[in-house]
């Protein structure tokens, strides 16, 4: 490969929701962008696939796609207006929402938005991951030995980000990254293989410390999972998951293959940029510390990073200044639009899992009664975890 074809304005490691969204926005604006992903798409990603109102609004704003258009393309394949919350087998709340939870299959969802980035002009290297980053030369080398350079490097390469691990994590304002990582287990029984059919969203507390279990509906399958802080549940996850499956009376699900992965769970980095390198989505730990919702935060951080890069470009400060200036703007945008909400959610989680846990979640029932639908509106992004105040536009 000659020098010119390996030089880009922006290199993005990772083509998941964060990488594809940044790739789409930056390519559409005319930048020379390369997305590098270790997997060939369509590829699976362990996930519950639940998206909220704030994500649907983002997809509309960024990609011009509505819930209706995404349903027509089978990207959104299910929606549930009803949800239940249990403490073990005891029902705590059962409600109907104005806005439904929507469900996506990550293989289709991620592939669809990556294709959007490609159509907008982004170059794509698939099946060849980023192996190393040379910060001084602003260059990445792939596993197969290909070398690419760029003015800005984006790490959208997920929770185990190679780009993030090129730096000491305390450089990004946090030294307890691993202490706030959750382990997750999930099964995906096909509807025709199980007797019990569920068509709404169910969350279960009480089966695991500092975490929860779920049943999410999908058109063809159920997604049944559990996630919790790793440090609080050493070696207990599998037992807890099996106990959960027995308790909710899913005997036929016991035979399903169990998948496992990790997710950021309160480990968000307050300052995930250094020089011309920016981290997005899971690479920066941007997932809701209470429920682990990360698709929205991946795409929202990508939108903010793209805004920062384009702002510097449009002000014609020149490509050299784009580097550090855009990282500074990105950090300011994060402080305004993402970090405060994650901090409030983390506080809310601490109350939920410490104080309420002591009392076997009975106060949760009272709290749910008092809050009504305010908590679910908070999850949807209509309200803030900051005393459930109404939010402005995301």
Ligand X SMILES: Cc1cc2nc3c(=O)[nH]c(=O)nc-3n(C[C@H](O)[C@H](O)[C@H](O)COP(=O)(O)OP(=O)(O)OC[C@H]3O[C@@H](n4cnc5c(N)ncnc54)[C@H](O)[C@@H]3O)c2cc1C
Binding of residue 39 to ligand X (CB under 6 A): yes
Rounded-to-integer distance, Cα 76 and Cα 104, Å: 5
Rounded-to-integer distance, Cα 177 and Cα 174, Å: 7
Query: Which stretch in 40-48, 244-252, 267-275, 381-389 sits in contact with ligand X by CB under 6 A?
Result: 40-48
Binding of residue 281 to ligand X (CB under 6 A): yes
Question: Under rule CB under 6 A, which residues in 44-63 are in contact with ligand X?
Answer: 45-50
The DSSP code sequence of 173-239 is T-S-TGGGEEEEEEE--BGGG-S----SEEEEESSSTTEEEEEEE-SSBEEEEEEEEGGGSTTTHHH
Among the listed residues 263, 278, 338, 342, the single contact to ligand X using CB under 6 A: 263
10 torsion bin: left (phi>0), alpha (psi -120 to 50), beta (else): beta
The DSSP bridge partners found for residue 134 are: 139
In the complex, minimum distance from the CB of residue 195 to ligand X, in angstroms, rounded to a whole number: 24
Binding of residue 237 to ligand X (CB under 6 A): no
| CB-facing half-sphere around the CA of 161: CA atoms within 13 A | 38
Contact 200, 83 (CB under 8 A): yes
Binding of residue 225 to ligand X (CB under 6 A): yes
Rounded-to-integer distance, Cα 314 and Cα 219, Å: 44
Query: Which stretch in 24-32, 43-51, 243-251, 341-349 sits in contact with ligand X by CB under 6 A?
Result: 43-51
Which 3 state secondary structure label does DSSP give 2?
coil
In the complex, minimum distance from the CB of residue 300 to ligand X, in angstroms, rounded to a whole number: 11
Among the listed residues 23, 266, 285, 292, the single contact to ligand X using CB under 6 A: 292
Sorted by sequence, the CB contacts under 8 Å of residue 32 that are 6+ apart come out as 7, 8, 9, 10, 123
Rounded-to-integer distance, Cα 97 and Cα 379, Å: 12
Q: How many residues bind ligand X (CB under 6 A)?
A: 39
Rounded-to-integer distance, Cα 35 and Cα 103, Å: 26
Binding of residue 13 to ligand X (CB under 6 A): yes
Binding of residue 261 to ligand X (CB under 6 A): yes
Binding of residue 189 to ligand X (CB under 6 A): no
In the complex, minimum distance from the CB of residue 288 to ligand X, in angstroms, rounded to a whole number: 8
User: What is the x/- site pattern for ligand X, positions 203-222, by CB under 6 A?
Assistant: --------------------
Query: Which stretch in 187-195, 204-212, 269-277, 285-293 sits in contact with ligand X by CB under 6 A?
Result: 285-293
In the complex, minimum distance from the CB of residue 310 to ligand X, in angstroms, rounded to a whole number: 20
Contact 53, 380 (CB under 8 A): yes
Binding of residue 158 to ligand X (CB under 6 A): yes
Binding of residue 156 to ligand X (CB under 6 A): yes
Q: Where do contacts with ligand X occur on this chain (CB under 6 A)?
A: 13-19, 36-39, 45-50, 129-130, 156-158, 162, 184, 186, 225, 227, 261, 263, 281-283, 287, 292-296, 298
């Amino acid at each position: 490969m000659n020098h010119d074809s390996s030089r880009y304005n922006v290199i993005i490691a990772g083509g998941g929701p964060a990488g594809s969204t940044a790739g789409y926005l930056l390519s559409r604006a005319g930048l020379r962008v390369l997305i590098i992903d270790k997997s060939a798409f369509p590829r699976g990603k362990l996930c519950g696939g639940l998206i909220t109102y704030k994500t649907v609004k983002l997809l509309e704003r960024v990609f011009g796609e509505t819930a209706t258009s995404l349903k027509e393309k089978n990207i959104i394949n299910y929606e549930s207006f009803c949800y239940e919350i249990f403490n073990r087998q005891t029902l705590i709340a059962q409600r109907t929402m104005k806005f439904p939870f929507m469900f996506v299959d990550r293989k289709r969802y991620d592939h669809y938005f990556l294709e959007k980035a490609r159509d907008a002009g982004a170059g794509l290297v698939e099946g060849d991951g980023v192996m190393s980053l040379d910060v001084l030369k602003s260059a990445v080398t792939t596993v197969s030995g290909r070398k690419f350079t760029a003015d800005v490097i984006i790490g959208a390469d997920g929770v185990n980000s190679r780009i993030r691990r090129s730096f000491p994590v305390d450089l990004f304002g946090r030294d307890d990254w691993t202490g706030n990582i959750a382990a997750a287990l999930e099964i995906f029984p096909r509807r025709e293989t199980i007797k019990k059919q569920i068509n709404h969203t169910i969350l279960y507390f009480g089966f695991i410390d500092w975490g929860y279990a779920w049943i999410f509906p999908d058109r063809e399958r159920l997604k049944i999972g559990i996630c919790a802080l790793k440090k609080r549940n050493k070696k207990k996850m599998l037992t807890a998951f099996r106990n959960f499956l027995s308790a909710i009376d899913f005997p036929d699900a016991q035979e399903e293959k169990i998948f496992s992965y990790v997710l950021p769970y309160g480990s968000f980095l307050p300052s995930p940029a250094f020089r011309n390198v920016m981290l997005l989505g899971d690479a920066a730990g941007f997932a809701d510390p209470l429920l682990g919702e990360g698709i929205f935060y991946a795409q929202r951080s990508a939108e903010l990073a793209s805004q920062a890069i384009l702002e510097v470009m449009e002000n014609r400060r020149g490509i050299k200044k784009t580097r550090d200036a855009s990282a500074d703007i990105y950090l300011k945008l994060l402080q305004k639009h993402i970090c405060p909400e994650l901090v409030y959610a983390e506080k809310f989680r601490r109350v939920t899992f410490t104080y309420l846990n002591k009392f076997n979640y009975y106060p949760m029932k009272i709290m749910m009664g008092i809050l009504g639908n305010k908590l679910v509106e908070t999850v949807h992004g209509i309200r803030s975890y900051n005393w459930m105040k109404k939010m402005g536009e995301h």
